[in-house]
Each structure stands twice: as structure tokens, then as C-alpha cells.
Amino acid sequence: MATQKQNNFGIKNTAIKNGKVCIVVNYYDDNGKRKQFCKTTDIPAKDVGRGRKKEVEKLRDEIVEQFYKDKEEKDLIKKMSKENPFYQYKEMTFLELLNAYLDYKQSRNKHTILTRDNYLNFLNVIKQYLLTNNIENIKMKDITTDFLENFYSNYLPKRVTNKGTTLSANTIIHYMNFINPALQWAYKKDWIEKDPTKTIEKPQIIQKERNALSKDEAVKLFKYLDDKEMGFAIQIGMMLGLRRSEILGIKTNAIDLINNNVAIHDKLLYKSGLYITSENDTKSNKNNESKGLMPLMTVLNSIISKQLARIEYNKSVLGSHYNKEFEDYLCVDNEGNIYKPDRLTRTAERYAKECLGKKYILHEICRHTCATLLVSDDTTLSEVQHFLRHSSINTTSAFYTHLAFSDRIPSANKIEEILTGKKEQQKSEEEKIEKTERN
């Protein structure tokens, strides 16, 4: 048996075995005993000094990272097996698999707090479905494509929510995004022989009609919001095209009135009676583009300055009675209580109804209207994308350009003139007039 030698080319976690570079990982087992993992590569040790050092370092990092990932999964299965002697992974029930997958994702910080909370609710629905059909203890290996299709296509679409509505296609896709990866995970680990999700098709999402205020309506409502309760928060959303969670997540220390900018780094959501911020939920922002500095123009600077002055005045008047739990946030009432998301939404809808006589939701008033007005005013799609902080210009194009219908009229007129010969006829008439004038 070939012995393992210490390398002499100065790369950590490496050794030489049979003349080849070997990646070495030292670790401790469950009993605290020192162990060693070794994986031999195809790279000859003599080649390291011939320009392959970086290649070895990259390969080492990949192997070490994969080792700890695999060890983490094995430790998880061991833990579950100790807690439940029937928890042998190949004999897992479907519900045990889903719970194991949730624990695995949580251990790697792959789910936001809200996502995990939603998936736990999904688990209750799945359990209810299994109980109804007397298959609560169905094994994960017995889950078939037919089973999944029946659940996705027959059971979920007929399920009625607390609001009295049936589940949307988008919600059903969320169920798929929880169940399918769990089964795929089991398949990759050889816990099941086949992947039952391979031929499952996602339902088609019907895009909801997106409304936006016209220019005149936006100007009228923006003026109407002056000095109204929560009015400043809606005005900020209109001028910066913010989502509700972004409006509520604005912090006073993120505002720079001297350099005229505000940092959109945090989001604030309300779930099950608790406020969840991006400080304790590191994955709550949709994407990196959602974060960044936004400019404060003169009007917005004035609006925010008034709210900051209002906060300081209320603090001085109420003293110890002022709620300091949310003192870092901008969108608070006179007593320091942060605005609840639903209340902000209802207030915005009420103001729109009072001012315009129409129903608009907060997202339409702020984000959709901001985008539509920019597009209608000949702002390029790339500029709108950057302003709205979309990760892809496809999102900007798909959701917002169709709202500016009036912008298409000139193009429609042009193509009509071309196809009907009106353009040539008009050109001929102009030439005749010009010829007559010359004569």
C-alpha cells in the first residue's frame, strides 16, 4: 500500500500519494477522535512546480467544500436517526423527507424566514391531504408521478383559502418549488430509484391586469397626499417606485439629506404578528439589484425632512411614552409605532378612492405608476430597469412597457401609412404641390 507523504510545494491540505497530488482534510468524528479524509487527484506531483499550483489550489477548495457539504448531510441523517429509530433515510415517509429537506435547507441558510414559514404551512396542507386519503405514512419511495399530478392538478386547485378563494397557479407553483426539489434531493442521494418530478409540468400563470395612474391622476393624488396621515410614505413610494416592504424598511440612518440620497438596504415585513426585517433575515431581499442608493430630489428631500422633524418633536413631547422599539425607522406614527403593512395599503386605497374616484392598490399607485410615467416620458428601458432595481431588463419590458398604450399610437399610424400606401400617396401629393409652387 502506497504511503502518503507530506508535500514540498507549499499548498495547505495537500500531500503526495503514488506520485499524485492528494487533497487531505483533517476532522473530528462524533466521539471527538481525529480522522483524516484523503482524495487522490489526477495531477502528478511533479507538475505542481510547472505552473499547475493554482489549478491544485482551486481543485483543493472544491474538494474540501464538497467534503463538508457531504459531511453536513450525513450528520443530519445521523441526528434524525438517533431522534427516531425508524428514521432510516431509505425508509423515510414522504412527510419525514419534507421535514428533513427543510432542516437541510435551514442548516445551509437557503430559505428566508418567510419562505420557511410558508413551507411549514404547506406541510400542514400536505399532511391533511394524506390523512384524508388514509396514506399519512406513505413512503417517499412510493411517491409517483401520478400521485404528484393528482395533488397538483386535482386537489390544490379545488382547495379554498381562508378568504374564500381557490389557490392560484402561482401558489401551486410554490408548492411545486417545495416538494419537487425535496424529491430530487432524495434521488441524487440514491434514497429513491426514480425521480417522479421529471415530467411534471407547472401550471400556466395568468398575469393579472396591472393598472397605473395616468399622469394627471398621479399629479392630483400626489398633491392630495400633502399633510395626510401616512401621506408622506405613499409620496416616497411614488417618487422612488418602491415596494411596500421597502417603504416601511427605510431607516433614518440610511438618509443623507446633505448628499441627497437614501439607501434602500432593508425591507420590513409583517408575518404572524411579528415584524421581520432584512437584518434578521439575510435572504429577504429579492436580489442584489434591489439594494442601492436612490437620489433625493428637492421635493422628496423636503418631504423626508418634515417627517424627521415630526419624529424629533414627538419624541420631545412624549418623552418616555414614545415607542423607541422602531426609533430607527422613518415610517412611524406620532407615538413611534411603525405603520403596519395592511394599514398602509388600505390607507393608500382610501386616498385614491377619495381623490380620484377609482380603486387602485398601493403597488399600482407607487411602483407601477412610477414605471409607467417614466416609460411614457421617453425614458429608456435600461434607465427604468436601473431606477426600479430590476435584476433583468426582461422584467421591466414584460411588466411595464405594455402600460403605456398611447406611446404605441405613433408607430401604429406609421405602419398603417406604409401598408395602405397612404405614405406614398401623401409623398406624391406633396411633390405635386411643390412642383406647382415652383411653376
Q: For the domain that residue 327 is a member of, what is the CATH number?
A: 1.10.443.10
Question: Distance between alpha carbon 48 and the CA centroid of its chain, in Å?
Answer: 43
- In angstroms, the Cα distances linking 279 to 249, 267, 382 are 10, 9, 30
**CA-only gyration radius of the chain, Å:** 30
- Based on the structure, what is the number of domains in the chain? 4
Closest CA to 380 of 415, 409, 407: 407
- Residue 340 main-chain phi, psi, to 5 deg: -75, 140
As a whole number, mean pLDDT of residues 401-426 equals 58
54 assigned to some structural domain: yes
Reported as a single tens digit per residue, the pLDDT across 104-148 is 888 776 666 667 778 888 999 999 999 999 998 899 999 999 999
**How far is 13 from 261, CA to CA, in rounded Å?**
47
As a whole number, mean pLDDT of residues 349-373 equals 93
Chosen domain end from 26, 47, 82: 82
Reported as a single tens digit per residue, the pLDDT across 10-41 is 677 888 888 888 888 888 877 788 888 888 88
Which uninterrupted H or E stretch holds 47?
A: none
Q: Which residue has the cell 493554482?
A: 54
Reported as a single tens digit per residue, the pLDDT across 213-240 is 998 999 999 999 998 999 999 999 999 9
pLDDT at 286: 47
48 assigned to some structural domain: yes
**How far is 235 from 291, CA to CA, in rounded Å?**
20
- In angstroms, the Cα distances linking 329 to 52, 82, 338, 342, 413 are 53, 46, 7, 17, 50
Question: Same domain, yes or no, for 387 and 361?
Answer: yes
Helix, strand or coil, per DSSP, at residue 168: coil
Closest CA to 178 of 148, 155, 158: 148
Which residues form the domain of 290? Answer: 215-403
Q: Is the pLDDT of residue 339 over 60?
A: yes
Parallel/antiparallel/unpaired status of strands 20-28 and 292-295: unpaired
Chosen domain end from 49, 82, 115: 82
Alpha helices of 295-368 — where are they, by DSSP H?
Answer: 298-318, 341-356, 362-363
pLDDT at 160: 83
The DSSP output letter for 211 is: P
Question: Same domain, yes or no, for 231 and 378?
Answer: yes
Question: Same domain, yes or no, for 263 and 132?
Answer: no
**How far is 144 from 149, CA to CA, in rounded Å?**
9
pTM higher than the cut 0.85: no
The DSSP output letter for 93 is: B
Q: For the domain that residue 145 is a member of, what is the CATH number?
A: 1.10.150
Question: Same domain, yes or no, for 257 and 384?
Answer: yes
Residues 6+ apart with CB under 8 A from 267: 243, 245, 246, 248, 249, 277, 278, 284, 285, 290
The answer to whether the beta carbons of residues 401 and 243 sit under 8 Å apart is no
The answer to whether the beta carbons of residues 271 and 248 sit under 8 Å apart is no
More confident residue, 298 or 390: 298
